């Protein structure tokens, strides 16, 4: 016997110097040549191209293996892939030795050391965590009060009517249903991409990137003609654009583990882009707008961030502007959420100027004005116009919308007209006790404030055969 397998491997390594590092699969090895290294072996032919030592931008050891950054991509060599347990450490030392022998090698090692210093002092993900928490908080509010989506979603026509808060609030709303999948996917993507953006750029610059991405996403939505948009995916796309910008323009200044393999990253972005334009419910133009905005603003910010210089005053002002704009946007919408009658009347006037928004939206606001606010008779006049538009838009064939019109008339003191309209609803849905009980309220057989519980499902889902309300509030929403 000539000793243990481990000692034999050591002997083989010593005889070869530091030029070959055996891997565990199929006789594969990493071979260090004069100008670079390559992967050799039956299972690694696709990666057999030599990597020049001059291309190496960073070497990073961890308990799991060796990170190796190059000007064009990043490699991660897992520890279990080496036949020797300390293979990553030995390879790292060998690469440092080879780099040091080349012209300019010492300066190259100094830059690697500078990157190590950056990696030891990463920025906390304060900005991204705050945005994620705000998305979660707003979604909880949506679940408690569905009207939040009505008044916060990005609707280009209403933004043009002066409801500028929607440019900001629309980014924090998410479509309900599907077990909150829309919210979960966006928050997870947001937190994941933060590793690639906020760590190297810092919280202030990340806020500016996300603010620009939010505006870019809604601008893209408006140009594409989407009727209504909700979701933080435009911000996520902007962060992806920022990450790609860092990878393409600043890769040589980033720690290897702050990067993704370039080819894989680009393919994933291309696939997501095609998906955004192929699936009707996905706002592909919003994603594209956010992506371009994130990429563009990162070009302006990356150099100062990676030079460890303090953020310029304009960056701090811009970040403060993003925060202040978000706060003011939610403050602007709060009177509607608090059911202020005057705010409802102004909002109703905006809706009346947009007949293309559909009966569902008119009906919802008319019902809320009649049942959730202390509106005057004059303010209820706006609700009456909305309810009549909704009824006419469905050819008076939806009893739920007729019920809303009857309720508005009743609140205005026009009881005879209310009874006549609710009789139309009863004729369409004679088996629904709710409409019968409403009639009893209107005729005085039931107390005026004793409103019966409405049906749990809207009329299209109660009627057979299936019938769909044109302009249902859910129509046309993109995420």
Per-residue pLDDT reduced to its tens digit, 253-267: 999 989 988 888 999
- SS3 string, the chain, reads CCCCHHHHHHHHHHHHCCCEEEECCCCCEEEECCCEEEEECCCCHHHCCCEEHHHEEEEEEECCEEEEEECCCEEEEEHHHECCCCHHHHHHHHHHHHHHHCCCHHHHHHHHHHHHHHHHCCCCCHHHHHHHHHHHHHHHHHHHCCHHHHHHCECHHHHHCCCCCHHHHCCCCCCCCHHHHHHHHHHHHHHHHHHHHHHHHCHHHHHHHHHHHHHHHHHHHHHHCCCEECCCHHHHHHHHHHHHHHHHHHHHHCCHHHCCCHHHHHHHHHHHHHHHHHCCCCCHHHHHHHHHHHHHHHHHHHHHHHCCCCCCHHHHHHHHHHHHHHHHHHHHHHHHHCCCHHHHHHHHHHHHCCHHHCHHHHHHHHHHHHHHCCCCHHHHHHHHHHHHHHHHHCCCCCHHHHHHHHHHHHHCCCHHHHHHHHHHHHHHCCCCHHHHHHHHHHHCCCCCCCCCCCCCCCHHHHCCCCCCCCCCCCCCEEC
Indicate where the chain has its CATH 2.30.29.30 domain(s): 18-120
pLDDT over 50 at 16, yes or no: no
Fold of 18-120: PH-domain like (2.30.29)
Reply yes or no on domain 126-337 having CATH 1.10.10.350. no
Per-residue pLDDT reduced to its tens digit, 182-204: 999 999 999 988 888 998 999 99
pLDDT over 50 at 324, yes or no: yes
User: Which pLDDT band, with edges at 50, 70 and 90, does 217 fall under?
Assistant: very high
Per-residue pLDDT reduced to its tens digit, 100-122: 999 999 999 999 998 988 888 77
pLDDT over 90 at 364, yes or no: yes
**Higher-pLDDT residue of 474, 248:** 248
Indicate where the chain has its CATH 1.25.40.10 domain(s): 341-478
Fold of 341-478: 1.25.40
**Higher-pLDDT residue of 54, 477:** 54
pTM for this predicted structure: 0.85
Looking at residue 12, its pLDDT comes to 38
Looking at residue 49, its pLDDT comes to 67
Per-residue pLDDT reduced to its tens digit, 160-185: 989 999 999 999 999 887 668 899 99
């Amino acid at each position: 016997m000539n000793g243990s397998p481990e000692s034999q491997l050591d002997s083989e390594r010593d005889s070869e110097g530091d030029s070959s590092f055996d891997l565990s699969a199929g006789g594969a090895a990493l071979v260090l040549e004069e100008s670079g290294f390559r992967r050799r072996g039956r299972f690694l032919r696709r990666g057999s191209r030599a990597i020049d030592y001059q291309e190496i931008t960073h070497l990073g050891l961890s308990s799991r293996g060796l990170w190796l950054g190059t000007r064009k991509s990043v490699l991660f060599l897992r520890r279990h892939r080496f036949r020797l347990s300390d293979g990553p450490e030995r390879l790292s030392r060998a690469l440092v030795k080879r780099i040091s022998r080349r012209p300019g090698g010492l300066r190259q090692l100094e830059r690697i050391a500078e990157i190590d210093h950056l990696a030891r002092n990463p920025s906390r993900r304060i900005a991204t965590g705050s945005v994620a928490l705000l998305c979660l908080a707003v979604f909880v509010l949506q679940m408690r009060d569905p009207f939040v989506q009505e008044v916060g979603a990005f609707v280009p026509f209403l933004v043009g009517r002066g409801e500028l808060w929607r440019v900001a609030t629309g980014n924090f709303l998410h479509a309900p249903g599907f077990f909150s999948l829309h919210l979960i996917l966006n928050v997870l993507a947001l937190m994941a991409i933060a590793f690639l953006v906020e760590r190297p750029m810092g919280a202030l610059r990340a806020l500016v990137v996300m603010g620009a991405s939010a505006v870019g996403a809604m601008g893209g939505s408006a140009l594409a003609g989407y009727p209504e948009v909700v979701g933080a995916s435009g911000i996520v796309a902007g962060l992806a654009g920022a990450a790609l910008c860092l990878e393409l323009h600043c890769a040589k200044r980033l720690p290897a583990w702050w990067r993704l393999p370039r080819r894989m990253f680009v393919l994933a972005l291309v696939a997501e882009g095609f998906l955004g334009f192929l699936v009707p419910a996905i706002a592909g133009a919003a994603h594209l707008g956010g992506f371009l905005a994130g990429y563009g603003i990162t070009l302006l910010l990356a150099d100062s961030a990676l030079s460890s210089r303090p953020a310029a005053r304009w960056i701090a002002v811009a970040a403060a502007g993003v925060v202040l704009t978000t706060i003011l946007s939610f403050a602007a919408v709060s009177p509607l959420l608090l059911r202020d009658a005057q705010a409802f009347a102004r909002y109703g006037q905006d809706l009346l100027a947009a007949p293309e928004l559909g009966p569902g939206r008119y009906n919802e606001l008319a019902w809320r004005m009649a049942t959730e606010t202390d509106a005057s008779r004059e303010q209820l006049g706006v609700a009456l116009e909305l309810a009549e538009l909704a009824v006419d838009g469905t050819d008076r064939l939806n009893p739920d919308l007729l019920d809303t019109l009857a309720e508005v008339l009743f609140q205005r003191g026009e009881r005879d007209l209310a009874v006549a309209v609710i009789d139309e609803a009863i004729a369409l849905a004679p088996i629904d006790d709710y409409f019968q009980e409403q009639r009893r309220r209107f005729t005085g057989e039931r107390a005026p404030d004793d409103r019966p519980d409405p049906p749990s499902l809207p009329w299209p889902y109660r009627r057979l055969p299936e019938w769909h309300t044109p302009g249902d509030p859910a129509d046309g929403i993109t995420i």
